[in-house]
Amino acid sequence: MRQLQGMDASFVALETKNSPMHIGSILIYNPATAPGGFVRFKDILNFFESRLQLSKTVRQRLVRVPFDLDYPYWIEDPDFDLEYHVRHVALPKPGDWRQLCIQAARIFARPLDLTRPPWEFTVVEGLDGIEGLPKGCFAMVTKVHHAAIDGMSGIDLMEAMHTLDPNEPPPSKPDTWKPEKIPNPAELLGKSYFNALTNPMKQLQVAAKAAPGIAKAIKGLAAKEFNVSGEMIAPKTRFNKVISAHRVVEGRSVPLADIKAIRQLVDGSKVNDVFLAIIGGALRKYLKSKNDLPDKTLTAMAPISVRSKDEKGDMGNQVAAMIAPLGTHIEDPVERLAFVHSRTMNSKAMTDAIGARNMTEVSKVSPALYMSLGAQLYTRLGLANRMGPPFTTVVTNVPGPPVPIYSTGARLESMMGLVCLTDGMGLAHVVQSYTDEATIAFTGCRELMPDPEFYAQCIEESFEELRDAAKGGRPAAKAPSTPAKVSKAAKTASTKDKTGTKPAATRSKTKPAAKRAASNRKSIT
């Protein structure tokens, strides 16, 4: 039995019927590489069953302390049933991309049963109408509670359910798993009493560790070392309200090589800066079309993993946060990228000064009852409709495998991330890489974003503007006066086409995740 800590427990406390706290993916597979060229649902069950011992997550469930007086505990579920967690549905004809997104949104909107191991995989057949995919492909919509998993431990779960070779035999490692007895309320209350006695000492230890970093951050602010300004406070948008129980999901896939080429527009910029600038441009286009674009820049919370190499296989979350302005007030895409890069460097410096690891440790000693009551009151009083947001949206970057992987012998063609929402944050993004593609996906509240296809188009156009600037397809504007500098690639681009018109050769469109992945690869037969 192992107790949840800080951030893991906060995801349980935040759970409401409108805000289920799970994350997941839409994974699309081509069975052409599987034995016989097809995969049955029974084959998937057998494959998963043979690999359960490779993951610490799949057979553990939560046990909550009475009255939420302390953090919940993980135990090995004595009633584990694989067929409850792996489900099977099919799309009606024609089985196109939009139908898959609608089905995934419906599945993802439903809360997990927290009296069982908090995960579900739904196999979706009938993807016969998605351009670029051969008939017979299937998808898996995955859901795993955020208390059990973050981006890095999620990779370990992916590794447990996939192989590097389509014909890889079952693991030889014996399954030594044993179920545990569910503790009774008296046992749980006894443990909570002990923790209540020791928690004040833990709080003092964390405060002592954090004090030097906080002092350094305050000193830096006074000296304007970090160049932090009012841009770090987000203006309120239509997405920063109380959310409903309904979801929309969509996404676009782009060549990873194009993202790396765009980096060259601004010296020192990172791949993550490029994604932030693309999303900033998309939000600008979307909100401007609604006559709802704030004058100040919108901001994103970008999770930072502080998980060490030794913790790679552990359950739970080891993340801190960085607040990154998105440059939505800047029309020119290259100037926006330079702005984003300069501000993310400032935010990263602030996070380093305080100590990302210390930020996670602070949450581990926060009283569980207060966390739960605070989260519930925030929702019940509708405070998200009255208070300004600390940030506009979330943009989390999850690196995927650089080589093809397989499940039940079927090749993974594309992966698109899904993420939880809370009151005050009705739109969130997941950026994910896999082999030669990168996907920019979003999860939104259906009431706050009723037109996800249009926002996906905005992402597409924002990417194309930066891609064309990198290729010299249109003038690249001069970057703003920030620590970042426009590179030679941007200056060269500005001299190639004074008209601002895209040459015909640069008008190739991005595609929904599955389409781009399939069209970029040779047939797998």
Rounded to an integer, what distance in angstroms lies between the CA atom of residue 361 and that of residue 10?
Answer: 13
For range 484-497, the mean pLDDT: 45
Domain residue spans of the chain: 1-172+184-525
Q: How confident is the model at residue 187 (pLDDT cuts 50, 70, 90)?
A: confident
Distance, CA of 92 to CA of 123 (rounded, Å):
14
Task: Measure the CA angle with vertex 320, ends 398 and 108; round to 5°.
Answer: 50
Question: Which amino acid makes up residue 324?
Answer: A
Residues 6+ apart with CB under 8 A from 115: 61, 62
Tens of pLDDT, residue by residue over 2-34, are: 877 656 667 787 788 899 999 999 999 999 999
HSE-CB at 84 with a 13 A cutoff on CA atoms is: 12
Bridge partner list, 417: 25
Which of 337-346, 449-458, 489-498 shows the highest mean pLDDT?
449-458
Q: In sequence order, what are the residues at sequence separation of 6 or more whose Cβ sits closer than 8 angstroms to the Cβ of residue 463? A: 252, 254, 258, 278, 440, 510
Active site residue 88: no
Sign of CA dihedral 502, 508, 511, 516: negative
Nearest of 471, 419, 510, 463 to residue 277 by alpha carbon: 463
Separation CA 338–CA 336 (nearest Å): 5
End-to-end CA distance of the chain: 47
Contact (CB, 8 A) for 46 and 169: no
CA dist., res. 421 & res. 442, Å (int):
11
Residue count (the chain): 525
Q: Can you name the residues that pair with 140 across neighbouring β-strands?
A: 27, 123
Among 22, 146, 329, 341, the one annotated catalytic: 146
The pLDDT tens digits of the residues spanning 71-116 come to 889 999 999 999 999 999 999 999 999 999 999 999 999 999 999 9
Q: Which residue has the tokens 């670029």?
A: 132
Mean pLDDT to the nearest integer, 324-334: 95
Kindly report the pTM of this predicted structure.
0.81
**What pLDDT is attached to residue 16?**
86
Average pLDDT for residues 109-133, to the nearest whole number?
94
- 1-172+184-525 topology per CATH: Chloramphenicol Acetyltransferase (3.30.559)
